[in-house]
Amino acid sequence: MKNVTIVIRNTLLAFLLLGTVIPVQNAEARSSWGIGASYEVRDSDPGNGFGLRLERGILSTVPLLDFKMRAHFSYFSEDVESYRDVQIPAELGVFDYGLAVTGGIGFGLLHPYVGLGLGQERFRSDSDEPVLDFSEDSIYWNLYGGLRLPILPLVSPFVEYRFTRMMGADEVDYNHNSRIAFGVTLSF
């Protein structure tokens, strides 16, 4: 029940965060919306997860450049046989949500982009051993770069690398992590 409550609370927080993207653009803007999904691999436990993102074009009057505001949510979960050098199984989970600004340029079918963002990561560990049963929140900043391939006008596969630096995490055994994401964005 505790895990279900955490998932529901974090999902609601992510949707509230997505709602903050809407007021960024005025009614006269010509840029499009985009919604995307991705499979993500991190260099720390838990290592595999999925991500969702909502993007909105901003500064559409700047020629040749593509600026976007992004709200994102990622979830990672993994059962491990040991954690923190303790040979006891644990279930690890990470909820990650935040806002970012992206800038890119298009070269035919290649659209490279870079970005900067802020967010919050909620790490949890559930185990039969009390020393491994904890949860911690940490604010972070991240830098990322990626490449979109707009094959069709509405569909853009992408690959993205993101470096994240934690600010104030005490219980987790890392202060930064990186990930690579493979996904698709639908524009409308």
pLDDT at 62 over 50: yes
Residue 89's pLDDT is 74
Closest CA to 171 of 98, 84, 95, 96: 84
Q: Which amino acid is at 24?
A: V
Separation between Cα atoms, residue 151 and residue 146, nearest integer Å: 16
The tens digit of pLDDT for each residue in 95-129 reads 999 999 999 987 778 899 999 999 998 888 787 77
pLDDT at 147 over 90: yes
19, with CB counted inside 10 A (0-12, 13-18, 19+), is exposed
Provide the residue ranges of all domains of the chain, joining segments of one domain with +.
2-20+31-187
Stretch 43-52: mean pLDDT: 89
Between 103 and 153, the higher pLDDT residue? 103
Please say whether the structural domain 2-20+31-187 has been given the CATH code 2.40.160.20: yes
How far lies 14's CA from each of 69, 109, 185, in Å?
15, 31, 18
pLDDT at 79 over 60: yes
The tens digit of pLDDT for each residue in 169-182 reads 555 556 678 899 99
73, with CB counted inside 10 A (0-12, 13-18, 19+), is buried
Decide: 181 and 157 in contact? Cβ < 8 Å: no
How far lies 71's CA from each of 63, 66, 125, 159, in Å?
24, 16, 26, 17
Separation between Cα atoms, residue 37 and residue 49, nearest integer Å: 11
pLDDT band at 152 (very low <50, low <70, confident <90, very high): confident
Separation between Cα atoms, residue 95 and residue 122, nearest integer Å: 5
Residue 112's pLDDT is 94
Tokens of 132: 């491994």
CB count, 10 Å around CB of 179? 24
pTM of the predicted model over 0.85: no
Q: Which amino acid is at 41?
A: V
pLDDT at 78 over 90: no
